[in-house]
Amino acid sequence: MRGRVLIVAGSDSGGGAGIQADIKAVTALGGFAMTAITALTAQNTLGVHGVVAIEPTFIALQMAVVLDDLGADCVKTGMLHDAAVISTVVDMLAAKAPSVPLVCDPVMIAKGGHPLLVESAVAALRQRLLPRAGLLTPNLPEAEVLLGRTIPDLPAMERAAEALRQLGPSAVLLKGGHGTGAEVVDVLADGAGIHHFRSPRIDSRHTHGTGCTLASAIAVGLAQGMPLIRAVATARDYVLEAIRRAPGFGAGHGPLDHGHTMCRPAG
> Residues with catalytic annotation?
175, 207, 209-212
Distance of alpha carbon 51 from alpha carbon 187, whole angstroms:
32
Give the other-Cβ count within 10 Å of 236's Cβ: 20
CA nearest neighbour of 109 among 57, 51, 169? 51
d(CA 123, CA 129): 10
Torsion 180-184-189-193 (CA) sign:
negative
How far apart are the C-alpha atoms of 210 and 16, rounded to whole Å? 9
The count of other CB atoms within 10 Å of the CB of residue 19 is: 26
Instruction: Answer for the pair 232, 190: CB distance below 8 angstroms, yes or no.
Output: no
